[in-house]
Amino acid sequence: MKVLKGVLEEERKRLKSAEASYVREIGKLPKGSVQQKRIKDKEYAYRAYRKGARVVYEYLGKLEVGELKELERKMDLRRRYEEKLREVRENLRNVRRMVRG
Amino acid sequence: MAEKEQFAILSKILKRFQAAGILDDLILIGSWCLYFYRLQPGSFEDLPAVRTLDVDFLIPRPQRSKKEVNVPAILEEFGFTPTYHGMSGLVVYDHPELRLEFLIPEIGKGTSRPVSVRNLHVNAQAIRYLNFLSDYTMVVDYQGVEVRIPEPAAFALHKLIVSSRRTKKEKKQKDLESAVGLLELLFENPQGKERVLSILKKLPPKWRKTILAVSEEHFSELNDLYTSS
């Protein structure tokens, strides 16, 4: 039983540091999505994201294909990390319940 | 902590490492080995299933290959995030279900700083006694992936020696339970006994002495076997 409690406590600590890591990494990544608008045959990029109840469109200008791909990759990673953060918090709640017994 | 999910992620990572051509250069160590031993035909089905969520990969010294692979980028694909350990420079990789860590045998006087493994873009924690795990390995087939793990006899002896250096009571107890559980099963047949003895005899005398001092109290059959050999 002692070993099992030790494993759970170790896991609780690990999840706490994982939570902090996800929060830190999410903070470094842009939120929202990229939208392209065609004006007079030229494509312009905007970053659309939610700010409270309204949606903000931030003008990014003309982006190179590589820049656009990198931005989309970072946004996608942010969404993935946000999902993982929710899972970490759920696991943390479960472990705390188990430690308390 | 869905067990199914943990195995699914580990399996994907192993497959991805194999595809990148680096799996052969890594040895899976730590409590996950017990799971792989249980999968082997023979007498290991009764091994205790308790394991931590840390997946430890040992990078042998010298490395088998120097293939350039960006491991953190691979882990990022699976949603792992880097977790930095204080000022030491050590980075481990966290996921809701698992933590991945890279270890390397400590050589010479040792250092508290991690060792940079440039071709894999990772920092590995240097730990003493790991080289005898990399000296005695076996390859198991796991869902079509060839995974290198330490031989059970080496794993058990390693657990005995590291238990002597543990300061945390629970960790020490966990090491001893794994070691004794494995040794009991290995001692059920002559080949298992022979393998434990042969590895024990090849270890540096100081290490052997430490192991025998621990086993005296927790698994004296090992001392009897060594004395009678």
- Ordered by start, the domain boundaries in chain A are 2-100
Assess whether pLDDT exceeds 70 at residue B132. Answer: yes
Q: Which residues of B touch A87 (CB under 8 A)?
A: 96-97
Q: d(Cα B55, Cα B10) in Å, to the nearest integer?
A: 8
pLDDT of residue B66: 85
DSSP state, residue A87: H
Q: Tell me what the pLDDT averaged over chain B comes to.
A: 90
Assess whether pLDDT exceeds 70 at residue B46. Answer: yes
pLDDT of residue B50: 60
Contact B53 A81 (CB under 8 A): no
Q: What is the pLDDT along chain A (101 residues), one digit of tens a residue?
A: 666 777 788 889 999 999 999 999 999 999 999 998 888 888 889 999 999 999 999 999 888 889 999 999 999 999 999 999 999 999 999 998 887 76
The set of long-range contacts for B31-34, using a CB threshold of 8 Å and a minimum separation of 24, is B31/B174, B31/B178, B32/B56, B33/B149, B33/B150, B33/B155, B34/B178, B34/B182
Mean pLDDT of B133-143: 92
Would you call B195 helix, strand, or coil by DSSP? helix
Shortest distance, CA B223 to any CA of chain A (angstroms): 26
CA dihedral B192, B195, B196, B200 (to 10 degrees): 170
Q: What percentage of chain B exceeds 70 in pLDDT?
A: 96
Assess whether pLDDT exceeds 80 at residue B43. Answer: no
pLDDT digits (tens, 9 = 90+) for B98-110: 999 999 998 887 7
pLDDT of residue B197: 97
Interface test with A, best of B55, B78, B81 (most A CBs within 10 A): B81
3-state helix, strand, coil in chain A (%, to 5): 60, 25, 15
Q: d(Cα B201, Cα A84) in Å, to the nearest integer?
A: 47
pLDDT of residue B168: 83
pLDDT of residue B49: 63
Mean pLDDT of B111-130: 90
Q: Which of A81-85, B76-80, B131-135 has the least mean pLDDT?
A: B131-135
Assess whether pLDDT exceeds 90 at residue B88. Answer: no
pLDDT of residue B68: 93
How crowded is the C-beta side of B21, counted as CA atoms within 13 Å? 7
CA B49 remoteness from chain centre: 15
Contact A14 B177 (CB under 8 A): no
DSSP state, residue B204: -
Give this prediction's pTM.
Answer: 0.87
